[in-house]
Amino acid sequence: MEKNVLNFTLKQLETKITKLNEKKFRAQQIFDWIYKKNIFDFEYMSNIPKSLIDKLNIELDITLPKIIKINTSKIDKSIKFLLETKDKNLIESLAILENKRVTLCISCMIGCPLKCKFCATGTELKFKRNLDASEIIGQYITINNFLKEKNIFGNINNVVFMGMGEPFLNLNNIEKSIEIFTHKKALDLSKKKLVISTSGVDKGLSDFINKFKIKLAVSIHFPTNEQRSQFMPINKKVPLEKLITELKKIDLKKREYITIEYLMIEKINDTLFHAEKLKSLLKGLKVKVNLIPYNPTKMFFAKPSSEKRINKFANYLLSKSIFVTVRRSKSKDVTGACGQFALKNNGVSLLK
Ligand code: SAH
Ligand code: SF4
């Protein structure tokens, strides 16, 4: 049975505490210590009776991932973190510091089984396992505490599931971590501050977004099945039509939209032919297209599109009334940009 309290939703902890023959409200008190007072040791929870603390020490524990290396970008002040799990696996996360706001890009797996050809996580690492909820929210807690301790800005403002792994292949743990991220008595983040990015696993995608109401980003990258299947093996299972049908089932409010992530790879997917195909594909969907210049990785020999080609592509979409933004890649010098998470952190070691 699970021991780490950080893997429990409030309801689950209440059930556990009741099974220990204790009153349900003790679970809330424990949540309060952890998520509001930043205390991760039962011994310091001063309103919990000693008899219960003894039981807790036997039945449960509180374990956070540990920072073992940090690497600060010289270009843009982003910080890449290498964290270690209890079983000595490594996780990567990136804090992006911009306009007094902090966005944390977190991982949900060690490696990724989907093996997209352009992605360092998929090509340079072996897929090991899913991260559990404690390791997912643990990235947030550990890094938030680090930033506060070092007086680097305030709290983390946004959390994006854009690090290592495919969230929709780890749904149970993602659901649990969203519950903990957003619950008033836990981390209390607004749902609008959470973004989940997927390469398009279709089952349950619309149900999930309709239920949790967090923002969705979808990695389309190639507007034809032929090309998408070549670079993203998942497309053989879930071709574009199937994915788009699933996206059409998402209920969007007035100002809401789905973000379409589109890699810009020189002369591979950045021609006007591709822009037209993309426009047709997105017909009938409320979207914002985010053009992402390809960040070079070791195993995929290609170049990011030139500024000129990106502008031409963007202008075509704009002329068809599609909202477009261009992502300026973060921290290329610490290989912390998207798709470059491959556990290579040459930064400062925090190990004694
Ligand atoms: N597995 C999810 C989320 C993690 S990847 C997904 O694929 O959406 C986060 C984003 O980084 C995705 O849009 C992904 O396609 C993109 N990405 C992967 N490799 C990249 C690279 N080399 N350059 C730029 N973006 C990349
Ligand atoms: Fe996995 Fe996303 Fe990388 Fe593809 S792009 S291998 S789905 S992490």
Half-sphere exposure of 40 (CA within 13 A, CB side): 12
pLDDT at position 352 over 50: no
pLDDT at 217: 97
What percent of the chain shows pLDDT beyond 70? 93
Give the ligand 1 atom nearest the CA of 340.
22
Q: Catalytic residue among 108, 112, 116, 338, which?
A: 338
pLDDT at position 330 over 50: yes
The span from the CA of 147 to the CA of 150, in Å, is: 5
Please state, rounded to an integer, the average pLDDT across all residues of the chain. Answer: 92
pLDDT at position 198 over 60: yes
pLDDT at 337: 56
- Which of 23-27, 128-132, 203-207, 289-293 is predicted with the least confidence, judged by mean pLDDT? 203-207
The domain 66-349 having CATH identifier 3.60.15.10: the answer here is: no
The residue to which tokens 């659901």 are assigned: 175
The reported pTM is 0.94
Shortest-distance ligand to the CA of residue 105: 1
Contact yes or no for 235/218 (Cβ under 8 A): no
pLDDT at 350: 53
pLDDT at 66: 97
Give the ligand 2 atom nearest the CA of 120.
3
Q: Residue 245: what residue type? A: T
Q: How far is the CA of 236 from the centre of ligand 2 (A)?
A: 15
75 compared with 124, residue with greater pLDDT: 124
The pair of three-digit structure tokens given for residue 97, joined into one six-digit string:
């510091």
pLDDT tens figures, 135-168: 999 999 999 999 999 877 778 989 999 999 999 9
Shortest-distance ligand to the CA of residue 231: 2
- Which CATH class name applies to 5-59? mainly alpha
Nearest CA to ligand 2 atom 4: 116
Q: What 3-state DSSP class applies to 135?
A: helix
The span from the CA of 324 to the CA of 321, in Å, is: 9
Shortest-distance ligand to the CA of residue 292: 1
pLDDT tens figures, 171-182: 999 999 999 999
The span from the CA of 211 to the CA of 265, in Å, is: 35
The span from the CA of 199 to the CA of 165, in Å, is: 10
pLDDT tens figures, 264-279: 999 999 999 999 999 9
- The length of the chain, given as a count of residues: 352
pLDDT at 239: 97
From 197, 288, 303, mutation site for ligand 1 pocket: most ligand atoms within 8 A of C-beta: 197
pLDDT at position 298 over 80: yes
Do 5-59 and 66-349 fold alike per CATH? no
The span from the CA of 216 to the CA of 280, in Å, is: 20
Q: Residue 167: name the closest of 130, 138, 203 by CA.
A: 130
pLDDT at 345: 58
Task: Tell me, yes or no, if 92 is annotated catalytic.
Answer: yes
pLDDT at 349: 56
User: What CA dihedral angle connects 327, 193, 107 and 183, to 10 degrees?
Assistant: 180
Protein residues whose CB sits closer than 6 Å to any atom of ligand 2: 112, 114-116, 119, 121-122, 165-166, 199, 339
Given pLDDT bands bounded at 50, 70 and 90, which one contains residue 336? low
Q: How far is the CA of 123 from the centre of ligand 2 (A)?
A: 9
User: What CA dihedral angle connects 134, 135, 139 and 144, to 10 degrees?
Assistant: 20
For the chain, give every domain's residue range: 5-59, 66-349
3-class SS letters over 141-197: HHHHHHHHHCCCCCCCCEEEECCCCCHHHCHHHHHHHHHHHHCCCCCCCCHHHEEEE
pLDDT tens figures, 209-226: 999 999 999 999 999 999
Q: Residue 117: name the closest of 309, 328, 337, 294 by CA.
A: 294
pLDDT tens figures, 247-264: 999 999 999 999 999 999
pLDDT tens figures, 315-325: 999 999 999 99
Given pLDDT bands bounded at 50, 70 and 90, which one contains residue 351? very low
